[in-house]
Chain A
Amino acid sequence: MIATPEVDWLALSPALALLGGSGVALLGSVLVPRWLARGFGAFFAFAGFVAAAIFAGFVFDRSGEPTELLAESMTRDRFGALASILIAGAGALSVLVSWGEQRRDNGGEYYALLAAAGAGMVFFVTASNLMTLFLGLEWFSIALYILCALDTHRRASLEAGLKYLIIGSFGSAMLLFGFALVYGATAELGLAAIAEAADPDDQLLVAGLAMILAGLGFKASAAPFHMWTPDVYQGAPTSVTAFMSAATKIAALVVTLRVLTIGFPEQEHLWTVAIAAIAVASLAIGNLAALVQRDVKRLLAYSSVSHAGFMLIAVAANNELGGRALLYYLVPYGAMSIGSFAVVAARERQLGVPVTLDNFAGFLWERPFLGGAMWIFLLGFMGMPLTGGLLGKFYVFAAAYDTGWTWLVIVGVAATAVSLYYYLRVALAMWTRPEPRLRPAVAGGSPPRDPLLVTAVAASLGITIGSFLFVQPLIDLARDAAAALPL
């Protein structure tokens, strides 16, 4: 008889649910008749995401105290559980957005990969040692590489997949190198153990920390590690972009906060400054580059770089308020992100060409609900009232001010001012009446009906506005979750 370690199945259940959904969807694409495979896959992927969210809710409920599992390879705590809920929610919405995509083949595989990526992220945010962190990262990254390139008939999609693969691998390699250096310096893998074993003056450790920051920066698409973002967001299938912009960002930022606060409390004076610098760079580059974009997906990609900057301000603040600010910000940000890409997807499916500022014209009058929703998402990105975007920024700035970093608040405010210009360009484009010659719309007929996409947009809209009106419950959740970290 071999003694096996005690396995905490509940802690693993969100990832397992998604893996199960993914596996069934994959099997379905082989065993189920062709006409049914797409629906079968979508259903099980959706069910996987919903089940993962529910299980993560149970984990949240039953993990008042953080516990280390499986030889310190995983943590069961509310922080990871809340992040898992957010990721699973983003995944479920993405499935709804994906459904209307005209996909000639790969229907089942698409959803299987989406669920697998979700499983990887859920695993990633609960991982607490360097090996499992890397495993989780590669797990979801590989799924995403394939997803980006899945539209094999479009050159842009293949290009996006290849770019993401090459640059992403580079990022992973940086991260792995950093992990190796840290391991070399401390001879420990667990985050908490690293913190204990670390010698504050060890140059090796500091070099490792720097490389870890760079590696995580790649995944969070923070400048100067954002080069892949516009190309990949633009080229990938829009539903995949929606998923990546929300879920990947959630996973990467949450893990950044966890790794830094648990693993490197002694080096706080170094990494808070480094993160602040990355935040400033992201705000500057993201906002300035977005000013000149005409392709809406590309513009939103740069906007996501700038939002990574805003959220990193919360990480840099390194206080309780910052932890809450990050977790709160992710909720409306995720919803606005998925919602806005969903609207772009709807326009794209209607026109059959990439959406630019020119052919977005008149959208509000053609489809008032989607156009109105897009307006609200843009207002949210700007940080205008009646959306959670305002309170997210408010919290982030409050956290920075509380740490005494007034200059960071000023930078954030200035970046917001710049961002208004390009968001308003999109917003005003939707109001203007299109000139006939700029109108490549398919001749005749109303735009394709896509009730699932509309549902996803409505849900995102609900979250965007709801997170403004009902802040207290979200803050309570975020407070409980952030309490698991030594902030």
Chain B
Amino acid sequence: MTTTLILLPLAGALVAWLLPAPGRVVGAFAFLVMLAELVLWALAVGRFDFQQDLQLVDRQQWFDDLNVSYHVGFFGFSLWLAGLTIVVCTAAVGYAWWADRERGRAYHGLLLFLTAAIVGVFTAQDLLLFYVFFEAMLIPIYILIGVWGGARRVEATVKFVIYTMAGSLLMLAAVIAFGISQGTFDLVESGASNNVWLFLGFLAAFAVKAPLFPFHGWLVDAYGESPPELSAILSGVVSKAAVYGLLRIGIFKFDEPLQDLQLTILVLAAVGLVYASLLAFRARDLRTVVAYSSMGQMSLIVLGLFSLNELGVNGAILHSVAHGLVSAALFLLAGMVELRSGGTSDFADLGRMAKGRPALATVLMTTGIIALAVPGSAVFAGEFLILAGIYDEGWWWSAVGAGAIVLAAMYMLRLISGVLHDRRRAEPEPAPRDLGTAELSLLVPLVGLLLFLSAYPGAITERSFPTGQSQALVEPPP
């Protein structure tokens, strides 16, 4: 089951590359593959027992002398992250199909390959396998930015490559050291380590990926120059690989170093949260706002994870899913706005877009309101849990977090009015084009899921960890 979830998009990618068909047809095919993947994931949820640990396991020896195996399976929380991946990637593939990207065969093949790699990251139970998926995820991103990106794509690619690979290679060194010293690379069999340097090696990769302050130099270029559907995947899903890694490897395997470094990481996350929120408020264009808001929210998630208690960790998972949906929807919306504004997302050239576009206004407003954590929304539920969790570590952390929520309200409202209502542009457009059926059918499910999670956040918080496990996880070692 788990293997099929990984192999299906991979096989789809191969077919897309080899199939001699026009781009539109390949796009339709890729979208179908993603729908099948969604169904498969739903079946996996149906078979999953949320009161148990690792499930739906597939295991196959890969090479024996270092005890490396192909070992995949789901935890409750990773099932949700994989679900988020599949939903967002389906929307992204749909968007690419609708936008009819040049060289459609290569493009859709790469998107499917990317999906397979991300799902792989969320399922890997072997360290080397995790590294393989983690790296495999980066290859299509490099190509997609480098070839289909905007005007400054080469610069964006080079920055992204240098940042991410520096992190990844440190992780490779840590993977080797961890595996050799444990005698196995299997995450289930290996025990905990108390080597701070190894933890830092892993942390490097995840801090870049999240990104955590001050490892965010690649962020704006990559999110700004990518095609919008790729930005959606990057900020919505790929950043969550860091959450998964911090949880599955950091928290599960490095009890002691975690306690030592908790304060440092919390400080970095808090600084990142405030800093990114301020930058988002000052940003001049739509995509940069979403990019920095994404960084801010990721910092908040890290704050939740490293509160090292049940509330915080559960909140981090819920917020990961909610933020993934929000930022994916916002980036897709940014793409749609750009299509209507002659390719620019600069606030100076936007405004008054609500006029004659009720659907766009409604969707953007709803997403924006959820994103600013209005009470009752899924994002609010996640942030509330995170703030409640971090309160244990000191009230000031919660104060910083709450302050950042105010900042979030400021930049989101500025974004909404900047796009929809500001009268910066002298005249409203003569013939405004509203969102079409295709665009709505991509956005509405994302917003619908957000509304569902707003109504019932327990769908995730009650099903991420077996009862009591998240508590056991984060208890300090005896």
* A446 vs B377: C-alpha distance when bound (angstroms): 60
Q: Does A472 contact B (CB under 8 A)?
A: yes
Q: In the complex, what residues of B have CB within 8 A of residue A421's CB?
A: 158, 161-162
Q: Does B306 contact A (CB under 8 A)?
A: no
- Whether the pair B166, A417 counts as a contact (CB closer than 8 A) is yes
Q: In the complex, what residues of A have CB within 8 A of residue B66's CB?
A: 395, 398
- Whether the pair A413, B172 counts as a contact (CB closer than 8 A) is yes
CB within 8 Å for A385 and B133 given contacts A398-B176, A409-B173, A428-B157: yes
Instruction: State how many angstroms separate the Cβ of B9 from the closest Cβ of chain A.
Output: 14
Query: Could you say which interface size class chain B belongs to?
Result: 35 or more
Contact of B132 (CB < 8 Å), options: A390, A398, A428, A479: A390
Q: Does A274 contact B (CB under 8 A)?
A: no
Q: Does B36 contact A (CB under 8 A)?
A: no
Instruction: State how many angstroms separate the Cβ of B114 from the closest Cβ of chain A.
Output: 13
- Whether the pair B132, A472 counts as a contact (CB closer than 8 A) is no
Q: In the complex, what residues of A have CB within 8 A of residue B64's CB?
A: 472, 475
Contacting residues of chain B (65-108) with chain A, CB-CB under 8 angstroms: 65-66, 68, 103
Q: In the complex, what residues of A have CB within 8 A of residue B169's CB?
A: 413-414, 416-417
CB within 8 Å for A401 and B65 given contacts A413-B172, A424-B161: no
* A402 vs B17: C-alpha distance when bound (angstroms): 41
Q: Does A262 contact B (CB under 8 A)?
A: no
Q: In the complex, what residues of B have CB within 8 A of residue A431's CB?
A: 143, 146-147
Contacting residues of chain B (105-152) with chain A, CB-CB under 8 angstroms: 128, 131-133, 135-136, 139, 142-143, 146-147
Q: In the complex, what residues of B have CB within 8 A of residue A384's CB?
A: 135-136, 139
- Whether the pair A409, B135 counts as a contact (CB closer than 8 A) is no
> Which A residue sits closest to B117, measured CB to CB?
A385
CB within 8 Å for A385 and B63 given contacts A420-B165, A424-B161, A428-B157: no
Q: Does A410 contact B (CB under 8 A)?
A: yes
Q: Does A49 contact B (CB under 8 A)?
A: no
> Which B residue sits closest to A415, measured CB to CB?
B169
* A413 vs B177: C-alpha distance when bound (angstroms): 13
Q: In the complex, what residues of B have CB within 8 A of residue A410's CB?
A: 173
* A397 vs B66: C-alpha distance when bound (angstroms): 12
Instruction: State how many angstroms separate the Cβ of B303 from the closest Cβ of chain A.
Output: 30
* A413 vs B131: C-alpha distance when bound (angstroms): 14
> Which B residue sits closest to A328, measured CB to CB?
B63
Q: Does B437 contact A (CB under 8 A)?
A: no
* A413 vs B139: C-alpha distance when bound (angstroms): 18
Q: In the complex, what residues of A have CB within 8 A of residue B135's CB?
A: 384-385, 390
Please encode chain B, from 155 to 197, with 1 for each CB lying within 8 Å of some chain A CB and 0 for all others.
0011001100110011011001101100000000000000000
Q: In the complex, what residues of A have CB within 8 A of residue B166's CB?
A: 417
Q: In the complex, what residues of B have CB within 8 A of residue A471's CB?
A: 62-63, 68
* A417 vs B167: C-alpha distance when bound (angstroms): 10
Contact of A394 (CB < 8 Å), options: B128, B147, B154, B170: B128
Instruction: State how many angstroms separate the Cβ of B140 from the closest Cβ of chain A.
Output: 11
* A483 vs B166: C-alpha distance when bound (angstroms): 36
* A393 vs B162: C-alpha distance when bound (angstroms): 19
Please encode chain A, from 362 to 402, with 1 for each CB lying within 8 Å of some chain B CB and 0 for all others.
00010000001000000100001110001001110110011
- Whether the pair A401, B176 counts as a contact (CB closer than 8 A) is yes
- Whether the pair A394, B172 counts as a contact (CB closer than 8 A) is yes
Query: Could you say which interface size class chain A belongs to?
Result: 20 to 34
> Which A residue sits closest to B68, measured CB to CB?
A471
> Which B residue sits closest to A320, measured CB to CB?
B65
Most buried by B among A409, A432, A471: A471
Instruction: State how many angstroms separate the Cβ of A39 from the closest Cβ of chain B.
Output: 33
* A424 vs B68: C-alpha distance when bound (angstroms): 29
Contact of A398 (CB < 8 Å), options: B17, B139, B180: B180
- Whether the pair B65, A479 counts as a contact (CB closer than 8 A) is yes
Q: Does A297 contact B (CB under 8 A)?
A: no
* A413 vs B158: C-alpha distance when bound (angstroms): 18
Instruction: State how many angstroms separate the Cβ of B130 from the closest Cβ of chain A.
Output: 11
- Whether the pair A406, B177 counts as a contact (CB closer than 8 A) is yes
Instruction: State how many angstroms separate the Cβ of A133 from the closest Cβ of chain B.
Output: 30
Please encode chain A, from 419 to 441, with 1 for each CB lying within 8 Å of some chain B CB and 0 for all others.
01100100010011000000000
Q: In the complex, what residues of B have CB within 8 A of residue A432's CB?
A: 147
Contacting residues of chain B (289-336) with chain A, CB-CB under 8 angstroms: none
Q: Does A324 contact B (CB under 8 A)?
A: yes
* A416 vs B146: C-alpha distance when bound (angstroms): 20
Q: In the complex, what residues of A have CB within 8 A of residue B103's CB?
A: 365
- Whether the pair A409, B176 counts as a contact (CB closer than 8 A) is yes
Contacting residues of chain B (230-274) with chain A, CB-CB under 8 angstroms: none
- Whether the pair A475, B154 counts as a contact (CB closer than 8 A) is no
Instruction: State how many angstroms separate the Cβ of A343 from the closest Cβ of chain B.
Output: 18
CB within 8 Å for A417 and B65 given contacts A379-B139, A428-B154: no
* A385 vs B103: C-alpha distance when bound (angstroms): 24
Q: In the complex, what residues of B have CB within 8 A of residue A417's CB?
A: 162, 165-166, 169
Instruction: State how many angstroms separate the Cβ of A279 from the closest Cβ of chain B.
Output: 16
- Whether the pair B146, A401 counts as a contact (CB closer than 8 A) is no
Instruction: State how many angstroms separate the Cβ of B340 from the closest Cβ of chain A.
Output: 28
Contact of B176 (CB < 8 Å), options: A324, A379, A386, A397: A397
Instruction: State how many angstroms separate the Cβ of B64 from the closest Cβ of chain A.
Output: 7
Instruction: State how many angstroms separate the Cβ of B22 from the closest Cβ of chain A.
Output: 15
Contact of B170 (CB < 8 Å), options: A321, A386, A413: A413
Provide a sorted-by-A list of 10 A–B residue pairs whose CB atoms are within 8 angstroms: A321-B65, A372-B17, A385-B133, A390-B132, A390-B135, A398-B179, A420-B165, A424-B157, A431-B147, A471-B68
12 more contacts with CB within 8 A, not counting A398-B176, A406-B177, are: A324-B65, A372-B17, A385-B133, A385-B135, A390-B132, A397-B176, A401-B176, A409-B177, A416-B169, A431-B146, A471-B62, A472-B62
> Would you list the 8 A-B pairs with minimal beta carbon distance, nearest first?
A471-B63, A385-B132, A385-B136, A413-B169, A385-B135, A431-B147, A472-B63, A413-B173
